[in-house]
A and B are shown apart, each in its own frame.
Chain A
Amino acid sequence: MEFKRKDFIGLMDVSDKEIMAVLEMAETMKVVLNQRNKKAPYLQGKSVILLFYEQSTRAKLSYELAAQYLSANCVEINVDGSSQDTLFEIGRTIDQMGGDFIILRNPYSGSAGYLADKVKASVINAGDGINENPTQALLDLLTIKELKGHFDGLKVAICGDVAGSRVARSNIWGLTKLGAEVRIASPPTLVPNNIEDFNVKVYYDIKKACRDVDVIMSLKLQDEASYGSRLASFDEYKEFFKLEDTVIDAAKKDVIVMHPGGPNRRVEIASDIVDSEKCIIDDQITNGVAVRMAILYLLSLGKGLTV
């Protein structure tokens, strides 16, 4: 099995074997992370450009540290909505300046793949619209692998705004490829169309969705106003979908609770759960750096590494 990719765009179009190869590499990268001297020479002389069209603190920091731990030069570009340059033009400029990697976060679905087709640099998708955020899913998968040891038959409930979540989408593609049983718990207005066709079970009742599950993934809600008539109010939402003790009680005893970061403790998930041992947000954050190092390294090998 070879990981032969110029770009890393999504989990929709990678195989289960490729996912496992990245996870193994990420485990190796964790060794680097745990050393006193957190510097490996693999990307020495390479440049990594962070091209972010959306606000971000955690993801940007995670990518930047991943690049620096591998000795790459790292530059950050923040583009606001008023920029006249098209994505294509910025990509071409980066190419001409010798950029090796472009890490793109962009509000339009498909934009990472679009850019990848246009530039010589390797493109890593750090979130495109509501489509995918594949490294976030990989770090979730790495965390699950470490704590559960396997994916086959594992029951995972993804709870919240699934339709609007690129993290959920990437996780659904990844988890189903690795043999996990994926359930989603959402109000019907936040369930992606035809999602059942992708081997996902849909629940409108979070307690039922979480019954006997090994993993619960809570998602981040957007601004309340952005939901329009899809939600009556956050106040009502939390009555039905807030992750509370009663939900956790329905799951397996050793259930783990995950969140992509910045949980809304008033609406999505109860404070005492976030602060409990079951919630493994800290592991996810560490693994995020390891996974991003792994992707950068694997892509830097260019034309293929036999794994």
Chain B
Amino acid sequence: MKSVLIKNCRVISPECDPDSLNSVLVSDGKIAEIGDVRSDCGEVIDGGGLYLIPGLIDMNCKICEEGYESRDNLRIVSGSALSGGFTSLTTAPNTQPIVDSMTVVDYVIQRAEAESRVNIYPYGSITKNCNGRDIAEIGKMVSKGIIAVSDNGGHIESANLMRDVLMYSKMFDIPVIAAGLEESLSKGRVVNEGIVSTKLGLFGSPREAEEIIVSRNLILGKYTKAKLHLQNITTAFSVYLVESGKTHEGTQITAGTSPHYFALTEDDIEGYNTYAKVNPPLRTHKDVEAIKKGLYSGVIDVIASGHTPATIDRKNVEFDLAAYGISSLETAFGISYTELCGDSFKLSDLVEKMSTNPAKILGLKNKGEIRTGYDGDLVLVDIDNEYTIRGEDFCSKAKYTPFEGRKVRGRIIKTFVNGELAFSLE
């Protein structure tokens, strides 16, 4: 029996007091004991009085394998994830080949087993070939291991199709993950429509493009009572819509956002900064405030990294031509901790958004909390360690960031996956 004892740390767990020093014993990949544990056998790691949190679970990231390995690949992304404190990643379906059939799901899982150092959970595409029109064989994909379906790469224009998908998904009890924008309003428009788009002479994508789809999906989610997760909430009015949409009895609607939507604004694209070109676009200070409020109040359940790496060549071009995307697995925790945490929003609240809630929404058993019997996915974090974000330090192939030079607190010191020490800060 292989065991690791992580001693002398403040454990964020429903089973013990986070203010006192405790130990966690992991045996054969599972958490065996929490508290004042003594063990002589196996490895002992001194937590040095730091916080031990459950491994982060990313509901929105792009691994780019298969087909786009020049941007990132499984091996590199998993290294990137580990140094960012993520022990479980989901995969977007819009790879090459597109994840729309059981064969591809099978292949993705095989590749993950061979290459990945973190847990990989694939999403399937809602539609065949991400075409946005024809429903894929969701059931067969579920049987091979997808844990959700997503419209990523294939926006669902038809309300009827979306309604059918939501109803159909109930048969498998999986969430439908929706991130689309109204294409007639957003296509070819590269920044938030507003004062900055006017200043820079760029075609703006209006917030309506997001809010219309959010409200449509909320309405469909309300009546179908299916599990619906709205992935990219970025505007103040979207937060308001989600809040009212969630109140109806029996609905299973959840919402997520990413750190750049509460830590950056459209002002960050001034000077045509392509590193801050993301989709949906960065919004305004008012939106940032609303997103934060939504996170504090629980309207927004999840913070996902939104990691969407693009090669530097595709960023280092004219703004209109530049790829969307951000390299954010390695900054998500530090940015979130620094921007959000304080007296009223504690580390444990952040853990809920980045681990507990994602595990609940995705139905991942034995993950998202530090509990006896749960998986040994653990992260040792130093919340007082202040450091400067530098793109060149990233593991990811995308070694650039709109957060370059920003000072943040909350550093990942060690990451354990299934009880194995997988990352340790030098």
Contacts and interface: CB of A to CB of B under 8 A. Distances in A.
Contacts of A87: 317-318
B200 A88 contact: no
Contact of B201 (A114, A166, A198): A166
Interface in A182-211: 192-195, 197-198
Contact of B271 (A109, A113, A131): A113
B306 to A, nearest CB: 24
Contacts of A194: 194-195, 198
Q: How large is the interface on A (under 10, 10 to 19, 20 to 34, 35 or more residues)?
A: 20 to 34
A110 B317 contact: no
A111 interface: yes
Contacts of B199: 12, 198
Contacts of B201: 109-110, 128-132, 166, 169
Contact of B317 (A86, A130, A131): A86
A240 interface: no
A166 B198 CA distance: 11
Interface in B174-220: 193-195, 197-204
Interface in A273-307: none
Q: How large is the interface on B (under 10, 10 to 19, 20 to 34, 35 or more residues)?
A: 10 to 19
Nearest to B319: A110
- Residue from B199, B203, B318 whose CB has the most chain A CB atoms within 10 Å: B318
Interface in A62-120: 86-88, 106, 108-111, 113-114
A130 B202 CA distance: 7
Interface in B228-266: none
Contacts, number: 58
Nearest to B192: A193
A239 B193 CA distance: 29
Contact of B198 (A88, A106, A193): A193
Contact of B318 (A108, A193, A195, A197): A108
B320 interface: yes
A193 B193 contact: yes
Nearest to B317: A86
B203 A193 contact: no
Interface string B298-330: 000000000000000000111111000000000
A69 B263 CA distance: 52
Contacts of A193: 193-195, 197-198, 204
Contacts of A130: 201-203
B272 interface: yes
B198 A110 contact: no
A131 B201 CA distance: 4
A108 B274 CA distance: 13
Contacts of B321: 108
Contacts of B318: 87, 106, 108, 110-111, 114
Nearest to A194: B195
Interface in A123-182: 128-132, 166, 169
Nearest to A165: B201
A268 to B, nearest CB: 21
A195 B272 contact: no
Interface of B: 193-195, 197-204, 271-272, 316-321
13 contacts: A88-B316, A88-B317, A108-B319, A108-B321, A109-B200, A110-B318, A111-B318, A114-B272, A130-B203, A131-B202, A166-B201, A193-B198, A194-B195
The 5 closest A-B pairs by CB, nearest first: A131-B201, A110-B272, A108-B318, A109-B201, A194-B195
